[in-house]
Amino acid sequence: MSADDTKTVAIVGAGIVGVSTAIWLQRAGYRVVLLDRLGPAEGTSHGNAGVLASNAVVPVTTPGLIGKAPGMLFSPNSPLFLRWSYLPRLLPWLVRYLSHSSAAETRRIAQALTPIIGDSLEQHQALAEGTGAEKWIVPSVYSYVYADRAAFEADGFTWALRRENGFTWDELDGPALRAYDPAFGPEANFAALAHGHGYITDPGRYVKDLAAHVEARGGRVMRAEARDFRREAGRITGLETDQGPIACDSAVISAGVWSGPLARRLGIRVPMESERGYHVELIGANPTPRTPTMIASGKFVITPMDGRLRLAGLLEFGGLDAPASRKPFELLLRGAKRAMPGLTWQDTREWMGHRPAPSDSIPLIGPVPGIAGAYLGFGHHHIGLTGGPKTGRLLAGQISGQRSNMDLAPYRPERFS
């Protein structure tokens, strides 16, 4: 398109999805305005495990979850937490969420997630090329460590589902595991090593660098809160924000768990809750694992990052307003010390944030029906960093009229209209 007819796209949310959308739109010749109420990478795009977890296609809602959940909620070593005072508000969403825990639904969700995250490393490399953010991407194995082979085999459904969706792995027992990675102690006697993955050594800096590239290319990056849309004749013409109106030809809502109120203004009522995620960073940690590692018994990840280890994961339901709980932080530290008995560190940093969890565990990606120029891109629960670049690429392609060879039906926003 020529300079005279260049169109402007306003993108609400400057996490990995919004920033990825902005970069791909700029490469297609669009002007972009990227706005966020806190600024780039101040939410879950900063606070995550940093893993480009391509094979993390299995949702939380697996068969047997309904029977296991009560015991997990009362166990001090369970990765699942609930603020009981929040349960009455959570319950309608929770009923819908648990309705997807059959084998058939789990397979359907995994098949929908695989095209979004299955080539995450390559998508991040393509996104970051020429931006200056490439330095944060490290190709690697992603290790899943178990107490023994029997514990791995107890997760047979999960691994069979990964195999069905094209993922492979190598297996290491006992001494072979400790020879491969001596950081782990005697409680670790089996590992599955998934190749073709990667990790980000500083997720926050990575996304900030990508946002800086958007600005350097002429994009407008601003701290503002979007409140409503301007429309004429069924088409988006602008945004209303706390910093005044922003004119645009299209708008993308990619503000994570805070996307819900804006989506409702477009007629999409998403049953969505916050997956409250936690991380603890161990500054100056020693030893460090050679690759990002999922400690299967605790459902948390240990990732070597720039000058520190990050322990991340767990799942708490408690809404957006309650402060962080202490027990998840304590559980992460206990789990790391069990897995790596020789672990020492100099200092700690803690974080809690909100991951957007639609009731069917599938993100919303695509145009809003009946409103020209309105697009949604959110709902990635705990795989936002992994799936952000592909989501942004798909949104940019839809806005610019490119045909996709993917089946985009599973992500259609109208499933909640």
368-379: average pLDDT: 97
What is the rounded average pLDDT of the residues 80-94?
A: 94
Q: At residue 215, does pLDDT exceed 90?
A: yes
pLDDT of the residue at 65: 82
Instruction: Convert the pLDDT of each residue in 164-205 to its tens digit.
Output: 999 999 999 989 998 999 999 998 999 999 999 999 999 999
- Report d(CA 169, CA 167) in Å as an integer: 7
pLDDT digits (tens, 9 = 90+) for 98-133: 999 999 999 999 999 999 999 999 999 999 999 999
Cα–Cα distance between 252 and 229 in angstroms, integer?
11
Helix (H) or strand (E) holding 394: helix 384-399
325 Cα distance to chain centroid = 21
Which ranges in 227-274 belong to alpha helices (H)?
260-265
Cβ contacts of 179 within 8 Å, gap of 6 or more: none
- Each residue's pLDDT tens digit, 38-48: 999 998 889 99
Q: What is the pLDDT of residue 5?
A: 63
69 pLDDT higher than 90: no
Q: Does position 304 have pLDDT exceeding 90, yes or no?
A: yes
Fold of 60-100+136-196+272-357: D-Amino Acid Oxidase; Chain A, domain 2 (3.30.9)
Domain boundaries along the sequence of the chain = 3-45+205-271+361-416, 60-100+136-196+272-357
Q: For 10-39, what is the mean pLDDT?
A: 98
Q: What digits encode the pLDDT tens for the residues 314-340?
A: 999 999 999 999 999 999 999 999 999
More confident site: 381 or 68 = 381
pLDDT at 4: 44
Compute CA 66 distance to the chain's CA centroid, rounded to the nearest angstrom. 24
Report pLDDT for 73.
73
Instruction: Report the distance separating Cα 182 and Cα 176, nearest Å.
Output: 10
Mean of pLDDT over the chain: 95
Q: CA 319, CA 258: separation in Å to the nearest integer?
A: 12
**φ, ψ for residue 386 (rounded to 5)?**
-60, -45
Total residues found in the chain within this entry: 417
Which of 211, 333, 351, 336 has its CA nearest to residue 279?
A: 351
Lowest pLDDT segment from 43-47, 149-153, 241-245, 302-306: 43-47
Structure tokens at 407: 């089946």
What whole-number percentage of the chain has pLDDT above 70? 99
Taking 60 as the threshold, does the pLDDT of residue 415 lie above it? yes
**Superfamily for domain range 3-45+205-271+361-416:** FAD/NAD(P)-binding domain (3.50.50.60)
Does the pLDDT of residue 2 top 80, yes or no?
A: no
